[in-house]
Chain A
Amino acid sequence: MTPALASSCRLGLLGVVMVAGFCGIGARLYYLQVMESEQLALIAEGNRKQVIVQSARRGNIFDRRGNLLATDRTFIELGVDPQVVRDEDRPQWAELARIIGVPLEELEEKMTARVGAGDSEFAEDVRLVRWRKLAEGLDEPTYERIRELGIRGVYGNRQYRRVYPGGELAAHIIGFSNREGVGVIGVENAMNFYLRGEDGWVESERDGRRRELMQFRSREVPARNGLDVELTLDMMVQHVVEEELRRVVDEFSPQGAVIIVSEPGSGRILGLGNYPTFDLNQYSRSDIAHHRNRAITDVLEPGSTFKVVPVAAALNEGLTDPEQVFDCGVGQVEYRGRRLRLPADHREFGELSVEDIVRVSSNRGAAFLGLMLGENRLHGYAEAFGFGSRTGFPLLGEVRGTLHPVRAWDGLTITRLPIGHAVSATPMQIHYAMGALANGGVLMEPRIIERAVDENGETVFSFPPAARGRAVSEFTAETVSEMLVAAAAPGGTAPQAQIDGYEVAGKTGTTRKIIDGRYSNRHHVASFSGYFPASDPRVVITVIVDEPASSGPSYGGVVAAPGFRRIGVELIPYLGIEATRPEQVLAQREGGGL
């Protein structure tokens, strides 16, 4: 073979190899770019593209003076990736254990366990551990201290969590949201739609280290934070209410207790407390029965607090006047051809005027007024005062109580309903019925949410006062108020409710509970519902104590009325309520009291 031929063969061979190489590359390119293109493009896009969800911040809840009651805060869940832990960081482990509050041995075990049991059924199957939780609920400064230790593989994930700075304060009103950010009870539940906001999202690309390449953001929908909610609640009034609840619990060890404070003219609730209660920050550790807002979920026979209904109704209908006298010593009466036994009084009364009936809380006197009214009018006024229907309180769980239609009444109901038996009501209904008298006869709807505001503080919507209807005329309401002042004065059933310098109007209630189908002599519900100053009411206060353990009788005047007074005394300077009888305040001061 001549050199020229050899050279040409080599060139030819080289050419064939090159052509074959190019053909191979071409074939591979054809396979990748044509045959598998769609699938590979999807994989490439999946690796490169990402959708980042931008979580919306849940709105805050404030009281009416702007005090923060509920907010979102970040906490750190600390963990370790044992695969990247270095031995040279070991001296720092003791300090880390001290900061997060776990024993060093436990920490070492977690930091060094690089493999764990797999998910399959084979015992020998193992998996590499890439994350092991070390601690949760750490705050930012603590996490910063941990980061400063520089331990490789130890890092935290931020989590938003709802916090309630007041702890137990207004627990049943504020309610709580669960770990998924859904309101479960209280305002958190009722206003969940407005509080939660709307998550946003960003379509973007990431680099090999999975960091976002912001310049490749293609679509962006910003998150819309939830609205802030302002309540009608006043943190200080709420505190006064809860302090009083603690005092009642210390003194009487009751099964339950409810206190409500509201403004009569607007229906705004300034304070509402229940016992038992719970800590909002640890709701999962509390008894679920304690989550119940007894003010709206529990019913009781209102007892004597209901007597304002037949009295106001009879006056409003012009059937009687405050001076008309009834013989309350009579035990039986004729009514529509039937002999009816009248309910007994707690002591024997003779002749009593309508004023006296209210003052001494005579059962027979109230029954006489009920008989004067007749079934339909008595039932109608009970409805007009809000009994038997929901008050419109916006939080979950309100019940309507029981007010039977007239056709379902038995022969005794006409004499029992006027004394608050044969009817059941929630504390909220009792409170607002009394509030109607304080408000010139107009029954208001309870208000707990004042308004919802956006991030700029602009009101998005508000809840104006709403009247449910007129129960009685303004004149009747004033007349009954005067009677209720006598009831809360010496000679009445609740002189313990009196506040020097102020005209207090109110009514006690003492109800025997029904145990095993019979009225019990040992189980009572003591209540007092009233307002002051009677001539220009600023606050309505209702105190209801369920089964107080008292050595003496558990009358509303003994158990609940003092609570009314103590709350009133606390609220006078705070709300700036002026004395209606300043000379009494002066005399008391000179005498060294108050």
Chain B
Amino acid sequence: MMKNIKQTEYANRLIILTFALIFLVGATGLVTVWLRHGIATAASETRAMEVRLNEVDRALARVNSEIAAGLNPSFLHQQIERFDLDLRRPDDEQIVRLGTPEVFDGLAGESGSAIEGMAYREGGGERSR
């Protein structure tokens, strides 16, 4: 009688362990599948972003080259003539060279004491008193 009970106990334990093992293996499988799916999804997203980045790079290169073509002096001259803008380069009279005393004198003469004060402010201008 004792022997039968022990055998039943052993069999029950074996069944439980088997079920547990099946559950564990199944769970591991499911987790693996879930992880792989996650990795695949993340990889796809990365790939999509890579493609998008490449597209942006391509667009940027296109825009940059079009801007460069638009800044070509010959093209700009054509545009000036086309739109009859009558633009000319500045002559020497219109050019004020920074860092020369004439600049400060001229500014002070034109705009009064406020600019003069700024130009001669202690430590603030090139010509501090």
Is B58 in contact with chain A by the CB < 8 A criterion? yes
How far is B95's CA from A585's CA once the two chains are assembled, in angstroms? 13
The reply to whether B92 and A585 contact each other, CB–CB distance below 8 Å, is yes
How far is B62's CA from A214's CA once the two chains are assembled, in angstroms? 28
Q: How many residues of B contact A (CB 8 A)?
A: 29
Is B12 in contact with chain A by the CB < 8 A criterion? no
Encoded as 1 (CB less than 8 Å from any A CB) or 0, chain B from 69 to 80 comes to 101111000000
Q: How large is the interface on A (under 10, 10 to 19, 20 to 34, 35 or more residues)?
A: 35 or more
How far is B102's CA from A579's CA once the two chains are assembled, in angstroms? 15
Is B28 in contact with chain A by the CB < 8 A criterion? no
Using a CB-CB cutoff of 8 Å, which residues 12-43 of chain B contact chain A? 36, 39-40, 42-43
The 8 Å CB contact of B62, one of A139, A501, A572, is A139
Q: How far is the CB of B60 from chain A (nearest CB, A)?
A: 10
Interface of chain A: mostly helix, strand, loop or mixed: mixed
Is A68 in contact with chain B by the CB < 8 A criterion? yes
Is B52 in contact with chain A by the CB < 8 A criterion? no
Q: Taking A165-B72, A169-B72, A213-B40 as contacts, is the C-beta distance between A73 and B61 under 8 angstroms?
A: yes
Q: Which residue of A lies closest to B67 (CB)?
A: A68
The reply to whether B92 and A572 contact each other, CB–CB distance below 8 Å, is yes
Is A330 in contact with chain B by the CB < 8 A criterion? no
The reply to whether B61 and A71 contact each other, CB–CB distance below 8 Å, is yes
Q: How far is the CB of B93 from chain A (nearest CB, A)?
A: 7
Q: How far is the CB of B100 from chain A (nearest CB, A)?
A: 9
Encoded as 1 (CB less than 8 Å from any B CB) or 0, chain A from 157 to 173 comes to 01000010111010000
The reply to whether A166 and B89 contact each other, CB–CB distance below 8 Å, is no
Is B129 in contact with chain A by the CB < 8 A criterion? no
Is A573 in contact with chain B by the CB < 8 A criterion? yes
The 8 Å CB contact of B97, one of A74, A140, A574, A576, is A576
The reply to whether A215 and B39 contact each other, CB–CB distance below 8 Å, is yes
The reply to whether A594 and B62 contact each other, CB–CB distance below 8 Å, is no
The reply to whether A594 and B92 contact each other, CB–CB distance below 8 Å, is yes
Complex contacts, B68 vs chain A, CB 8 Å: 67-69, 71, 165-166
The reply to whether B89 and A573 contact each other, CB–CB distance below 8 Å, is yes
Complex contacts, A594 vs chain B, CB 8 Å: 91-92
Complex contacts, B95 vs chain A, CB 8 Å: 573, 576
How far is B89's CA from A572's CA once the two chains are assembled, in angstroms? 11
Is B46 in contact with chain A by the CB < 8 A criterion? yes
The reply to whether A165 and B69 contact each other, CB–CB distance below 8 Å, is yes
Is B7 in contact with chain A by the CB < 8 A criterion? no
Encoded as 1 (CB less than 8 Å from any B CB) or 0, chain A from 161 to 205 comes to 001011101000000000000000000000000000000000000
The reply to whether A213 and B74 contact each other, CB–CB distance below 8 Å, is no
The 8 Å CB contact of A74, one of B61, B64, B71, B72, is B61
Is A235 in contact with chain B by the CB < 8 A criterion? yes
The reply to whether B89 and A570 contact each other, CB–CB distance below 8 Å, is yes
Q: Taking A71-B61, A570-B89, A573-B89 as contacts, is the C-beta distance between A215 and B73 under 8 angstroms?
A: no
* 9 A-B pairs whose Cβ atoms sit less than 8 Å apart in the complex: A163-B65, A166-B69, A167-B72, A213-B40, A573-B89, A573-B91, A573-B95, A574-B89, A576-B97
